[in-house]
Amino acid sequence: MKALIPAAGMGTRFLPATKAVPKEMLLVVDRPVIQYVVEEGLASGADEVVIINSRDKKAIEDHFAPNPDLEATLRERGKDAYADAVRDTGNMPVSFVYQDEPLGLGHAVRCGAPKMDGEPFMVLLGDVIVPDNQMLVRMKQVSDEHGGASVIAVLPVPQEQVSRFGVIDGTQVSDDVWKVSGLVEKPPADEAPSNLTVFGRYLLSPRVMELLADVQPGVGGEIQLTDALEAVLAEEEMYALVIGPDDGYDTGTVESWLDTNNRLFARK
């Protein structure tokens, strides 16, 4: 199975820091934020991580490319731990496709279609770090219990915040699992079907990728992944794993990025 990480965004909230450095390359404790997400995809059973990049964010590609000269220099100087870190980062099975127009998350995911071989796939949004790398592992268990159905992670939030997220409708089937009956992207708070919001970790059937080809621009004029998930419900079951506030650390704003640095540093 492959894991997709959309990474073509402009990083507006971090300007001017992200004028020359991609948002995904901002440091969190000891590595760029996207490296945590790549490592999570690999720890969750992905055999390859496909980053949906933009053409002017080459620093991400340089980060995951081998650098034998740097590695050799570090070894000559006896800095083997750093040499190992350079080697390991360059050896990760990461590949790149490009999203040339900012048409939305659904469009970004669809750009990965040629890499997917018609198989189930994971999507990991890069704004959150899952510190124990177990969320997608648990989602895979839920999928296996339900015949390979798509599974998404959802986080309960206060009702007044739901309009910032995708929101599910459904019925609870066990302690932390819901059967999804509908999804809506960024609904007004008083129209939201629940307070369970789409968190940014998805385990999806290949049919979602097919349906994305026909999704029309939705909220914000963007092609929404949520709309493809809503469409697939007419044909397939989908489940949601309810997670807690400490299962994922946000890095999407300067404040949450700083807070995540402190929390992850404290865990080391």
- Whole-angstrom distance, CA of residue 130 vs CA of residue 55: 27
Rama region for 254: left / alpha / beta (φ>0; ψ in -120 to 50; rest): alpha
Of 25, 46, 49, 105, the one binding ligand G1P by CB under 6 A: 105
Establish if 185 lies at the interface with ligand G1P (CB under 6 A).
yes
> Is there a contact between 190 and 180 (Cβ–Cβ < 8 Å)?
no
- Whole-angstrom distance, CA of residue 24 vs CA of residue 9: 9
What sign does the CA torsion over 256, 262, 267, 268 have? positive
Establish if 260 lies at the interface with ligand G1P (CB under 6 A).
no
Establish if 46 lies at the interface with ligand G1P (CB under 6 A).
no
- Whole-angstrom distance, CA of residue 33 vs CA of residue 261: 10
Establish if 64 lies at the interface with ligand G1P (CB under 6 A).
no
Our CB check for ligand G1P shows the closer of 83 and 180 to be 180
Establish if 226 lies at the interface with ligand G1P (CB under 6 A).
yes
In the beta sheet, which residues pair with residue 128? 250
Establish if 166 lies at the interface with ligand G1P (CB under 6 A).
yes
- Whole-angstrom distance, CA of residue 230 vs CA of residue 127: 23
Shortest reach from residue 138's CB to ligand G1P, in Å: 18
Establish if 248 lies at the interface with ligand G1P (CB under 6 A).
no
Our CB check for ligand G1P shows the closer of 32 and 126 to be 126
Stretches 14-22, 85-93, 136-144, 194-202: which one binds ligand G1P (CB under 6 A)? Answer: 194-202
- Whole-angstrom distance, CA of residue 143 vs CA of residue 204: 9
Scanning the structure block, which residue is given the tokens 């992850």?
A: 264
Establish if 165 lies at the interface with ligand G1P (CB under 6 A).
yes
Stretches 50-58, 168-176, 202-210, 222-230: which one binds ligand G1P (CB under 6 A)? Answer: 222-230
Establish if 198 lies at the interface with ligand G1P (CB under 6 A).
yes
Residues at the contact surface with ligand G1P, assessed by CB under 6 A: 105, 125, 127, 165-166, 185, 197-200, 224-226
